[in-house]
């Protein structure tokens, strides 16, 4: 059910709101180009020249290089809230915290047509063989094309497949135990050290990202179930395997 590449189209900008819960209506686009409705947190990622003045607001906005790469570090503190921790990514790095919970996440490219962004999602994990290991978890291509705006589901960047070694033979150094995660919310992985996006911008003025709280329900019976782009429910699994 996972996809390896997504393209999004967008033309409108809408102010973001942080609300208490999310009940999704899955189907056609609403008036601002998103395929879902409901309470959400809205993050605006704005492309700017390296020398732009970004101010010191702590709102829903962060700034990244309009042309070039920015590392966007994402965290999920257990007692935290949605917050742009470091909004000035013009120095090559920004930071954003996600409130506790699981989310359906959608994005839309906005601004001048003909621009795009390529996002690689990386996770750095502890590993008994390597000590730490950096894994490419997924990627997405989002473009601002002409025409009616469309949002895309980017859950594949957050619900990931990872296999990690948890124990080794002290003599041979060969892995003897490992843990396997399938379609797992990345911040629920015990071995996670750091999660970030490598945001490779090719002129996109604005990427709008929305977080809708959802329930991990493999049957899809709940109205707010966590879902893939085709609407099927995410069945997040963790399997510990011993050699």
- What's 153's DSSP letter? E
User: Is the pLDDT assigned to residue 23 strictly greater than 60?
Assistant: no
Asked if residue 4 is part of any domain, the answer here is: no
Q: Sorting pLDDT into bands at 50, 70 and 90, what band is 56?
A: low
Which residues constitute the domain of residue 108?
Answer: 41-158+193-235
Q: Please, how many CA atoms are within 13 Å of residue 49, restricted to the half-sphere of its CB?
A: 3
Per-chain mean pLDDT for the chain: 84
Q: What is the pLDDT of residue 15?
A: 30
Backbone φ and ψ for 187, nearest 5 degrees, come out as -80, -5
Helices (H) and strands (E) in the chain, counts: 0, 14
Structural domain total, the chain: 1
Asked if residue 32 is part of any domain, the answer here is: no
User: Is the pLDDT assigned to residue 17 strictly greater than 70?
Assistant: no
Q: How far is CA 191 from CA 5, 71, 80, 196, 215, in A?
A: 26, 21, 20, 15, 23
Asked if residue 60 is part of any domain, the answer here is: yes
User: Is the pLDDT assigned to residue 60 strictly greater than 60?
Assistant: yes
Q: Sorting pLDDT into bands at 50, 70 and 90, what band is 242?
A: confident
Q: Note the pLDDT tens digit of each residue in 147-206.
A: 666 788 999 999 999 999 999 999 998 999 999 999 999 999 999 999 999 999 999 999
Q: What is the CA radius of gyration of the chain?
A: 18
Asked if residue 171 is part of any domain, the answer here is: no
Q: Average pLDDT, stretch 112-123?
A: 91
Q: What is the pLDDT of residue 144?
A: 78
Q: How far is CA 87 from CA 91, 116, 221, in A?
A: 10, 20, 38
Asked if residue 142 is part of any domain, the answer here is: yes
Q: Which two tokens stand for residue 4?
A: 């390896």
Under 8 Å between Cβ of 74 and 108: no
Q: Between 222 and 111, where is the model more confident?
A: 222
Asked if residue 9 is part of any domain, the answer here is: no
User: Is the pLDDT assigned to residue 18 strictly greater than 90?
Assistant: no
E runs forming strands in 40-130: 41-48, 61-65, 67-75, 83-86, 93-97, 102-110, 115-127
Asked if residue 73 is part of any domain, the answer here is: yes
Under 8 Å between Cβ of 101 and 82: no
Q: Average pLDDT, stretch 48-73?
A: 84
Q: Sorting pLDDT into bands at 50, 70 and 90, what band is 4?
A: very low
Asked if residue 10 is part of any domain, the answer here is: no
Q: Average pLDDT, stretch 113-119?
A: 89
CA distance 95 to 26: 30
pTM of the model: 0.85
Nearest Cα to Cα of residue 72 among 62, 81, 58: 62
Q: What is the pLDDT of residue 103?
A: 97
Q: Sorting pLDDT into bands at 50, 70 and 90, what band is 22?
A: very low
Q: Average pLDDT, stretch 78-105?
A: 94
């Amino acid at each position: 059910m996972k996809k390896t590449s997504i393209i999004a189209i967008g033309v409108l900008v809408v102010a973001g709101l942080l609300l208490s819960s999310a009940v999704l209506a899955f189907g056609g686009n609403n008036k601002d180009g998103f395929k879902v409705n409901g309470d959400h947190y809205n993050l605006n990622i704005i492309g700017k020249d390296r020398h732009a003045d970004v101010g010191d607001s702590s709102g829903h906005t962060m700034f990244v290089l309009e042309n070039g790469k920015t590392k966007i570090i994402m965290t999920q503190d257990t007692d935290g809230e949605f917050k742009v921790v470091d909004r000035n990514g013009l120095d090559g790095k920004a930071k954003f915290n996600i409130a506790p919970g699981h989310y359906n996440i959608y994005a839309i490219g906005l601004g001048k047509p003909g621009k795009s962004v390529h996002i690689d999602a990386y996770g750095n994990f502890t590993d008994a063989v390597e000590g730490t290991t950096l894994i490419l978890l997924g990627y997405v291509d989002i473009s601002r094309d002409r025409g009616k705006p469309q949002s895309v589901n980017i859950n594949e960047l957050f619900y990931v497949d990872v296999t990690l070694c948890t124990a080794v033979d002290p003599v041979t150094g060969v892995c003897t135990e490992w843990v396997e995660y399938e379609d797992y919310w990345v911040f629920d992985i015990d071995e996670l050290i750091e999660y970030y996006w490598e945001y490779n911008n090719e002129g996109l003025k604005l990427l709008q990202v929305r977080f809708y709280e959802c329930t991990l329900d493999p049957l899809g019976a709940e109205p707010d179930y966590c879902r893939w782009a085709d609407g099927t429910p995410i069945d997040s699994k963790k399997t510990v395997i011993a050699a």
